[in-house]
């Protein structure tokens, strides 16, 4: 449609318009393609229906692939990257392990993590002695992972004081 200069009225163009897909002359209904199709021009009704079908089928296929990928991720152990096939073998980490709750562990990694947590909780990180009722947390600057018995904590504290006195 064109504007007449000075009057602001619209007039119809006398040039024929063609479908950008099948090149048929457009008479009657003309369809503007969706922005996702990345096409410039107009489509006839048949081509518009075909393009819409293609786009919907492509979107459904992508959705199926995403669901398959998500299913694979949901059945993969996050520690060793093995696929856990059986649903009963999929283990979720305990809340006290300080791991994300949505992850899956294989039985081997679950057992390994559980024994490691129990070792940190029940045994001294330095000497390996069984912990008593009273446990000592190491200072951050010592960079020790786990808890300490009283003797090891006293030794570490003494070493730290001697080291700081030398500096």
pLDDT tens digits for range 128-158: 889 888 888 898 888 888 888 889 989 988 9
Per-position b or e across 155-164, b if 16+ CB within 10 A of its CB: ebeeeeeeee
The domain in which residue 35 lies consists of 2-70
Same domain (yes/no): 118, 167: no
Question: Residue 5 pLDDT more than 60?
Answer: no
Count of the separate structural domains present in the chain: 3
Lowest mean pLDDT among 99-103, 111-115, 150-154: 99-103
Q: Is 95 helix (H, G, I), strand (E, B) or coil?
A: helix
**CA 119, CA 146: separation in Å to the nearest integer?**
9
Q: Are residues 12 and 56 in the same domain?
A: yes
* 37 and 62 together in one domain: yes
pTM: 0.46
Let me know whether 65 and 115 are in one domain: no
Burial of residue 90 (CB within 10 Å: 0-12, 13-18, 19+) is: middle
- Read off the pLDDT of residues 31-64 as tens digits, 9 standing for 90 and up: 888 888 888 888 888 888 898 898 889 889 999 8
């Amino acid at each position: 449609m064109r504007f007449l200069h000075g009057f602001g009225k619209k007039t119809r163009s006398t040039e024929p318009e063609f479908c950008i897909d099948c090149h048929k002359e457009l008479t009657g209904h003309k369809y503007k393609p969706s922005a996702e199709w990345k096409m410039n021009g107009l489509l006839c009704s048949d081509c518009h229906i075909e393009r819409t079908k293609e786009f919907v089928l492509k979107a459904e296929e992508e959705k199926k692939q995403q669901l398959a990928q998500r299913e694979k991720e949901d059945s993969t152990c996050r520690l060793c990257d093995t696929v856990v096939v059986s649903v009963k073998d999929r283990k979720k980490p305990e809340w006290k392990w300080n791991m994300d709750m949505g992850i899956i562990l294989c039985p081997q990694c679950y057992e390994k993590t559980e024994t490691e947590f129990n070792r940190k909780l029940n045994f001294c990180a330095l000497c390996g002695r069984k912990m008593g009722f009273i446990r000592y947390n190491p200072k951050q600057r010592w960079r020790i992972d786990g808890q300490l018995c009283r003797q090891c904590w006293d030794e570490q504290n003494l070493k730290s004081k001697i080291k700081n006195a030398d500096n």
